[in-house]
Amino acid sequence: MEFTIAGTGDAAPQRRDGAIAVALVVLAVLNVSGGVLLTLARDQVADLFLVASWLQTWLSGGHLYGPGSITDYPPWAIVTLSPLAPVPSEWLVAVWLVFNLGLAAVIVWRLATISHENAPSTRNLAWLLAATGTIRQLLQFSHLSYALAIVGAFTASPLIGGLLVGVSLMKPQVGGVVWLWLVLRRDWRRAAYALPVPLILTAVYIAVAPIGVRDLVAGYRTAITSQYGDPTELPGQSDLRLWLWHLWPEPSVNAVLSGLVLAGLLVPLVMAVVRRRADGRHMELLGLCGAISLLAVRHLSYDFLLLLPVLVAWRCPPCAATGHAPRWMFFGLAALLVAAVPSWAKLALAHSAPPAISLFMELDRVMCLVVWAALAWRVNLPTLDSTSPVQSIERFTRSISLPPRWNS
């Protein structure tokens, strides 16, 4: 005769999830605390003071986009960041650090609450997001751009939300991801309200420091191409241009290849939207838009904010009541984003890794490519009722068909 004790079958998973939840709290606290200490201990303030000098130059009527300019922020970004100009230089780092801590909290909590999970799961998801390496980078400007975009995308008022998304376009490669997502979701009003914002801010820029529109556009384009035309000079951590450059080290050819790669990355996104397969999978669609941006243009590790929606979409216990993706996908991506292994390795080796681990040094780029492939596959599936990759691929292959109007 066999005896069983009611509820003991769930005891082990509950203990495991409880241990994970405690670990997430510890990791998040250490991550944010470490980010503050590293920011204060290391020389990370050069970019902040450089942008502050641009703001002072513009407010005094100077031109930022003349010959030899290195101003790589668009004019509407200069206007957006102008409230930093009056801050005394001795207070600038502290003010921006505290402000970015607040922005990080906004990003983490807004993304976690989008999941509509119960309170314990939402808290665990928030702790996980707060433990990622991208959150601890507190002197950059991506936090501001992404916080504005996420809050604007989910605020109740389309007008206010659209204006916030428009301001977030201060970093087009960050805020533009959310704007594209709004278009793909057919949130036309919010997307439309965002578009005039950069134009209005650019008009303010010209009013303060008069310059012809044609000269402004030409100067900004020259500043961008001179700094980022050769991906080996200022390499990003995720874009594919560096790989292409090694194959065809010619700027003109590389530009064409980069365009073709971008077009290729967009194909599964367009397929999912046209076939309406991504309806109801909004966070995976947002993550796919982010992965495309990471692979198509130059980004550094602080822009891995764009992958945080993927963790929300793939959440599993204890960050959700039920799994929304295979656990290995969720925890695998979470481990990579929390550990930030390639970033630490590059810092330790001072960008001079031995050939034997050169592929390991490309892990950021490989991670983004794998995430893009996984999202492209999932948003094109008819349903996600099976966690078996083999069954899902077979079902996806059988389901591929063009819309009826394309067959005529």
Please give the pLDDT value at position 393.
Answer: 46
Indicate if the pLDDT at residue 255 is higher than 90: no
Please give the pLDDT value at position 254.
Answer: 65
Indicate if the pLDDT at residue 54 is higher than 70: yes
Average pLDDT over residues 81-99: 93
Please give the pLDDT value at position 16.
Answer: 72
Average pLDDT over residues 209-234: 83
Indicate if the pLDDT at residue 93 is higher than 80: yes
Indicate if the pLDDT at residue 189 is higher than 70: yes
Average pLDDT over residues 367-384: 89
Residue 271, token pair as written in the block: 């397929």
Task: Among 13-17, 110-114, 307-311, name the one with the lowest average pLDDT.
Answer: 13-17
Average pLDDT over residues 163-192: 96
Its pTM stands at: 0.87
**Per-residue pLDDT tens for 141-172?**
999 999 999 999 999 999 999 999 999 999 99
Could you tell me which residue, 357 or 99, shows the higher pLDDT?
99
Nearest to 311 by CA among 118, 145, 112: 112
The most confident of the ranges 212-221, 237-246, 368-377 is: 368-377
Nearest to 78 by CA among 203, 234, 229, 236: 203
Task: Among 3-12, 223-232, 273-282, name the one with the lowest average pLDDT.
Answer: 3-12
Q: Would you list the domain boundaries of the chain?
A: 23-228, 231-399
Please give the pLDDT value at position 353.
Answer: 59
Indicate if the pLDDT at residue 401 is higher than 70: no
Please give the pLDDT value at position 11.
Answer: 65
Q: What are the backbone angles phi and psi of residue 273, rounded to the nearest 5°? A: -70, -45
Please give the pLDDT value at position 356.
Answer: 61
